[in-house]
Structure 1
Amino acid sequence: MEKFVKEVLISEEEIREKTKELGQQISKDYEGKDILLLCILKGGIMFMTELSKHIDVPVEFDFMVVSSYGNELKSSGEVKIIKDLDQSIKDKHVLIVEDIIDTGLTLNYLCDYLKGRGPASIKICTLLDKPEGRENPIEVDYIGYSIPNKFVVGYGLDFEEYYRNVPYIFVPNPEEDPRKRGSK
């Protein structure tokens, strides 16, 4: 695995501290309100789980699977809702929790889609933001880290569905993928 990690971008400790800081800010901003944390799967699950531990107002969870990537490293440009919400968001304060915002295509589509369901508010919280990759303007309310326009893996982000469990964010060296050496 050592050769596969070309560069550690954000350490586990840095993620933990930033997530705590974001949770405290969200708690302050939503004081006196309930929040529906809407996790965008699969990548957002680790971030949402940790973030929710640091939010001091009542929260509900719901999940969606929305994709514009498939198994590619670059967005296909077509957004697909693979799993929709399990509950109504009418009159609820929705906080979309994302692992990373790149082109903005998926989040723009998702926000428009959700607005039609009558929420009290919709805000966005992302662990990672790649402003250089932005093709569609999107207002992000809470950003953990702005990162360079590099392909990153770990802490929920995958490389061909693997390595989501790595507790830090790194730039991979695909030629050194341990799975290619028979260690599946």
Structure 2
Amino acid sequence: MDTKKSFIRISDDDKGYSLDQFCVPKHYEQDLDHVLIPAGLIHDRTERLARDIVADFGSEAIVGLCILKGGYKFFTDLLDKIQVLNRNSGQSVQLAVDFIRLKSYVNDSSTGSIEVIGGDNLHNLR
């Protein structure tokens, strides 16, 4: 399968789904108009991405690099799905994890440069 074509397109003018089609927490009801991407679709696409990564890397080791803080939840969901594939498939992929933060603001002004904070050994990513 050509993984370069396995994407879902959501147009800019897509209105999403009516709230009455979902269980929406009470504290969000007044703030939402619609659901653009249902959680189940996000979880399924994350699982598909995990499968594609494992297939593409074959027996090569994978180094997962999480850019904190915004990427943490997606990153852990993706790693969980890769680990499930490791447990339940005929092959096992070695998986290492590292975390970095990117900083480009001081107070509310951009510095114009990006500072990388953390990361045990970023040379492993080459």
TM-score, normalised to structure 2, is 0.59
Which protein has greater RCO, CA pairs closer than 8 Å, 6+ apart?
1
Larger Rg: 2
Q: Distance in 2 between matches of 1:70 and 1:14?
A: 37
Please show how residues 83-162 of structure 1 align to structure 2 within 5 Å.
83-86=117-120, 88-90=121-123, 92=124, 94=125, 119=126
2:62 is equivalent to residue 26 of structure 1: no
Runs of 5+ consecutive residues of structure 2 not aligned to the other structure: 1-27, 87-92
Residue 94 of structure 2 is matched in structure 1 by 58
State whether structure 2 residue 31 is matched by structure 1 residue 4. Answer: yes
Structure 1 portions without partners, runs of 5+ = 95-118, 120-184
Q: Which residue of 2 aligns with 1:99?
A: none
Shift of 1:15: 0.9
Q: Which has the higher helix share?
A: 2
Deviation, structure 1 residue 76: 4.4
> What is the CA–CA distance in structure 2 between the aligned matches of 1:20 and 1:70, rounded to whole Å?
37
Runs (4+) of structure 1 exceeding 4 A deviation are 68-72
Identify the residue that residue 166 of structure 1 maps to in structure 2: none
Equivalent residue of 1:83, what SS?
strand
Distance 2:106 2:42 in 1: 26
Aligned-pair identity in percent equals 33
Question: More displaced, 56-65 or 14-23?
Answer: 56-65
How far is the alpha carbon of 1:71 from its aligned partner? 8.2
Count matched residues: 90
